[in-house]
Structure 1
Amino acid sequence: MSDTTTERTDWRALWETGDLARFCFVSLGILLHATNETMVATVMPAMVGEISGVELVGWSLAIYELGAIVAGAAAGRLVSYVPLRSNMAFAAVIYALGALICATAPSMPVFLAGRLVEGLGGGALVSLAFVSVERLFPPRIWPQLFGIMSAVWGVAAFSGPLLGAVLTEALSWRWAFGIFTGGGAAMALASYIVLNAPAATTRRSEAASLPPFPYAVLAVLACSIVLIAVAGVDIQPVRSSLLVAAGLLGLAAFFAIDARNPGSRLFPSRLFDWRTPLGAGMTMVAALSVATCSFTVYGPLLLTTLHDVPILTTGYIIAAESISWSIMSIIVANAPPHRERAIIVTGALMIAGGVAGFAYSVPAGATWLVLACAVLQGGGFGIAWPFVTRLIVAAAKEEERTIASSAVPTMQRIGYAIGAAVTGIIANVMGFGSGLSRETAAPVATWVFLAFVPLALVGCVAAVRIAAGMRVNRALPG
């Protein structure tokens, strides 16, 4: 009979050795990044009212996610060349600098420059937090630590909108970013006190064996997203169409180049092949990530402009989406395997229903219905995402499973960046290109959601394909 007590995590011992304090510290990077990521939506109405630039609102999320994607890919490799502690301190300084630029921005273009810098620092902090677990803690407690990090992310996603709303109403939207300036600076200074273990202050010896960094593929991705976003700033039919076409071609080139570089690829092979569970799953992730950006980017701004909904109320609504995601994930966590097909399809339908519901509830100003749609959308992600992720990883080739596990959040971030850029184009075409007012906001409130319903349905069809593939696989003998 095995001694199960040796497998338990001794939290008291971890605290006495300082390991628990170090873990709480590295998790702060996740908290800073995720809270800032979700906070910006609720400060947007006040910010646009002061510095204008409503035609650039879609960039606020797109450029933040773009910075996070690039920095997240880089940070995991840099720890082999530069000690973990130095990386963490530098990333925190970059994050604080970005927050400071945002807090003091006199115009929307300067604010967006700050968001890019923030995204670079925040994306690096998240990547380094996961690297820290692998380098600083014993393998036997990794599952518990990763579970706590997921909980930290959920708390941050919930608290970000509320924090932004409270600070905006009590003080100013600038203070919302000012707090993160202080947090990033404090984390940079504390890195040299808390991260004092040898594993955090030395470089890896096997740096020469690292795969090459994917400079070219990330540069193509960045250019593609920027081209799409630029197309919506000053709407001109020919120019904007050409920029969108160039951006879409760039995205196709991004995936093609990535597939041809097995030594440094970001995604597994047969990425969008609907004949495989992996391809259908990644299609579902991509389609639904793009389709669900509209409310995060424009929801609070539209509700405040059209219906005078208080900023704090919009913060509660966005927070409710995050809470729904977390609660539904917990509810279905132990679902039996034969229920997974139905859960994935149900989740996709819930997400699509939320997107379509926003197209009616936001223009109508029915706050309770907006809340219901937010809960529906968040709950759909909560029940579907864990099973889709597991399916994608399980369906990948054995040598590509590590890549597949990181590909899901990477695809999700790319989807958010593209979705935010496209949302900006739609909003400006429908009226925000002429400025912010009740008259210009009315058509935006419908089309910024309705335009993504077809893409949400693509996600539903991909979910059905996944379910059909699971049924076939279980029916096969052996």
Structure 2
Amino acid sequence: MSVQEGSWGDLLGGKNLALAVALSGGVALHAINIYIATTVLPSVVNEIGGLDLYAWNTTLFVVASILGSALTARLLASSGSRRAYAVAALLFIIGSLGCAFAQSMPMMLAGRALQGLGGGFLFALCYAMIYAVFDEKLWPRAMALISGMWGVATLLGPAVGGIFAEMDAWRAAFGMLVPVTLLYMVLVWLVFPARNHEEATPVGKLPVVQLLLLTAAVMAVSTGSMSSAPVINIAGVIVAIVLILFLIRQEFTSETRLLPRNALRFNSPLLALYITIGLLVIGMTSETFVPYFLQVLHGQTPLLSGYLAALMAAGWTVSEIWSSGWQSRGINRAIISGPMVVLVGMVILAFSLPVHAQGDWTVLSFICLGLALVGFGIGLGWPHLLTRILQVVPDEDQDAAATSITTVQLFATALGSALAGMLANMGGLTVPGGTEGSSSAAMLIFAIMAAAPLLAIFSAKKVIVRQ
């Protein structure tokens, strides 16, 4: 399906400009926070400990974001856009303060969970409002703009986190998010009306069972990842697979669904779209440990390691903006070639990142190339994959389709982070630890998780066939 292409001038002109800034600002805040946390986390571990729970900072954050995403449609319908954003901002602020004052890793994880819940609302609200405030011809551009905020985050997040980390003041990096969030709330309050017509649409019951199964599946992998014993790791994965199968069965039999109706049937165009998106995101979550590996194996400062790790998001932003205006065959080429580029990047990282080079810029150049390729490959087809989800569902499922984008993306992020944590501990991150453990952990993470973009090549082919 194709629609008349809208221009960047249409999106960023007139009354659309304020709306575009307000929507993209929520994603920017969410993304900047992620890169701040990723950059300062090695410093956090050095001060309060908890290396064995390193990946849980991402996992709990994203699991909570999934819950926020799932509740977004209900929050919009009951409260309107202004109050919905206010709730999201309040949770985000409380979580940021919890991180800033954390004295142990469990306290840090509690703060990250609250940040995730508020961030999930912010993230999903932006996607949910796209089709409500913009014409369909502007959806690809709006998707690209909102996702392009990850590029802004690659500039600001590592800078904020890195500077504060090098000053031994990582707590202040979380604390400064509070006034920024308050300023964003003022902007939203000025731009959005108290309630839009679309927000008054009744929403169905919350799919509680599916959400519990989804959360339990991620936590099963995360719990298993705490051990370096392969048997326990594998047991966690098996439990997660069983829970996901129960989730799929529940989606077929329940009147209350997490995804649009019939989305998980083999002949559904949505299934191939969700699988492709999920696999691409899982491949990208391998970046969870990149700042730590860069500091331990390559002798980089927190600031520089944060910026190098952010090359994935930078590549994503560049390619997404570049490809967002493509039409017809260009869209198909973007969707199918994206996973191939990601796979090449993952292979390069599997060979270069584990090398104990301590500042050798020949090795670092390959690492930079691999990171940029992974992000670039994801961004190529991303706006078209998301737009196609909104295009293939009937009008009555638009709400579910919009929120499902965030749900699938966040679930894949949480699952990928949990898998990365499992592979890191299996590879020796904590035992034997040090450079030897970090090197073997880096090799295992990127070698195994390269399977995700490889499988995405096949699901992307189905997306093209079923368009």
Per-residue CA deviations over 1:228-281 (Å, capped at 9, x if unaligned) read 1011113445544433322221122223212333554324525373x6644333
1:418 counterpart = 2:415: yes
Q: Which residue does the alignment assign to 1:39?
A: 36
1:78 counterpart = 2:75: yes
**TM-score relative to the length of structure 1:** 0.83
Pairing 1:69-468 to 2, within 5 Å after superposition: 69-129=66-126, 148-185=145-182, 190=186, 194=190, 197-199=193-195, 209-271=202-264, 273=266, 277-294=269-286, 296-364=287-355, 365=357, 366-396=363-393, 400=397, 403-434=400-431, 436-467=433-464
Whole-angstrom distance in 1 between the partners of 2:460 and 2:21: 37
Q: Which amino acid aligns with 1:330?
A: I
Whole-angstrom distance in 2 between the partners of 1:370 and 1:163: 23
Q: Which amino acid aligns with 1:284?
A: T
Whole-angstrom distance in 1 between the partners of 2:397 and 2:22: 31
Q: Against the structure 1 CA distance between its residues 392 and 434, is the aligned structure 2 distance closer, same or farther, given a 3 Å change threshold?
A: same
Per-residue CA deviations over 1:122-171 (Å, capped at 9, x if unaligned) read 11123344566777x68799768766544445423543233222322245
Q: Against the structure 1 CA distance between its residues 401 and 138, is the aligned structure 2 distance closer, same or farther, given a 3 Å change threshold?
A: closer
| TM-fit CA distance, 1:348 | 0.9
Per-residue CA deviations over 1:371-397 (Å, capped at 9, x if unaligned) read 101111111011122333344554556
Q: Percent identity?
A: 24
Whole-angstrom distance in 2 between the partners of 1:401 and 1:138: 14
Q: Against the structure 1 CA distance between its residues 42 and 466, is the aligned structure 2 distance closer, same or farther, given a 3 Å change threshold?
A: same
Per-residue CA deviations over 1:336-365 (Å, capped at 9, x if unaligned) read 423443332221111111111111110124
Number of paired residues?
453
| TM-fit CA distance, 1:400 | 4.5
Contact 2:24–2:146 (8 Å) recurs in 1: yes
Per-residue CA deviations over 1:48-105 (Å, capped at 9, x if unaligned) read 2222211111111111111111112213212333354333323212111111111121
Q: Which amino acid aligns with 1:299?
A: V
Whole-angstrom distance in 1 between the partners of 2:457 and 2:136: 38
Q: Which amino acid aligns with 1:384?
A: G
Contact 1:45–1:301 (8 Å) recurs in 2: yes
**TM-score relative to the length of structure 2:** 0.85
Q: Secondary structure at the match of 1:79?
A: helix
Larger Rg: 1
Whole-angstrom distance in 1 between the partners of 2:36 and 2:449: 23
Contact 2:353–2:367 (8 Å) recurs in 1: yes
Contact 1:162–1:319 (8 Å) recurs in 2: no
Q: Secondary structure at the match of 1:282?
A: helix
Whole-angstrom distance in 2 between the partners of 1:203 and 1:326: 30
